[in-house]
Amino acid sequence: MPNKRQAAKRARRDERRREINALHVSRMKTAIRNFKKLIQAKDLETAKAKLPFVVSMIQHAASKGSIHKNEAARRVSRVTQLLNKALASNEQK
């Protein structure tokens, strides 16, 4: 329990920020999860069309401070590599 009025206000603000950050991270993770499901299902054309949306969700979370910008860059790199690898293996067949 906060002892001062300012500490109570800070606790209320921190709780609101925590919920907002959780929302951004949850949306981002859901987009990535759905993207990975498309790749596993070999639906590469839909996955290719969905990549810009996934990247924008990751960058949005970073711009709001919910995740670090380096984490965002790493996640973008990984989903892009995943798609490129799937496309390359599909071309070889």
pTM above 0.75, yes or no: yes
Q: Could you tell me the end-to-end alpha-carbon distance of the chain, in angstroms, rounded to an integer?
A: 63
Number of structural domains the chain divides into: 1
User: What is the domain-level CATH number for residue 34?
Assistant: 1.20.58.110
Task: Summarize pLDDT for 23-65 with one digit per residue, the tens.
Answer: 999 999 999 999 999 999 999 999 999 999 999 999 999 999 9
d(CA 10, CA 18): 12
Give the structural domain span for 61: 5-92
Read off the DSSP letter of residue 85.
Answer: H
